[in-house]
């Protein structure tokens, strides 16, 4: 895994800690909320444009065969941000909060 940085993103009135990885990272099957992003760095500070927001109980399997690779790549995806969290309900609630807070070009909305 190529870790790029730690990031904190807000949604639904809460802040969540994510780890940013390069888009070519292979993941283990862990439970997580993930965000495909276009990461830019200016003056040593990174920023992210959200492209797709999702959640899964098997991150490695989900990312390796994701149906949205074409869409996110066409928007310049170079990063996958991961917030590890157990529990189907917790993952779903956080994903929903992020999808409600951020308009992404690759989520079907």
Q: Are 11 and 97 in contact (CB under 8 A)?
A: yes
What is the radius of gyration, based on Cα positions, of the chain? 13
State how far the alpha carbon of 86 is from the alpha carbons of 10, 11, 13, 24, 57, in Å.
19, 18, 20, 24, 8
pLDDT over threshold 90, residue 1 = no
What pTM was computed for the model?
0.95
Q: What is the pLDDT of residues 85-104, one digit of tens each?
A: 999 999 999 999 999 999 99
**CA dist., res. 58 & res. 31, Å (int):** 6
| Mean pLDDT for the stretch of residues 66-79 | 97
Q: In whole angstroms, what is the distance from residue 86 CA to residue 25 CA?
A: 21
Which residues are 46's β-sheet partners?
Answer: 41
């Amino acid at each position: 895994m190529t870790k790029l940085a730690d990031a904190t993103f807000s949604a639904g009135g809460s802040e969540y800690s994510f780890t940013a990885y390069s888009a070519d990272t292979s993941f283990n099957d862990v439970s997580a909320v993930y965000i495909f992003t276009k990461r830019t760095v200016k003056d040593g500070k990174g920023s992210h444009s959200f492209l797709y927001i999702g959640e899964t109980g098997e991150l490695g399997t989900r990312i390796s065969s994701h149906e949205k690779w074409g869409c996110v790549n066409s928007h310049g995806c170079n990063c996958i941000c991961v917030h590890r969290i157990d529990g189907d309900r917790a993952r779903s609630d956080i994903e929903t909060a992020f999808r409600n807070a951020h308009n992404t070009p690759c989520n079907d909305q």
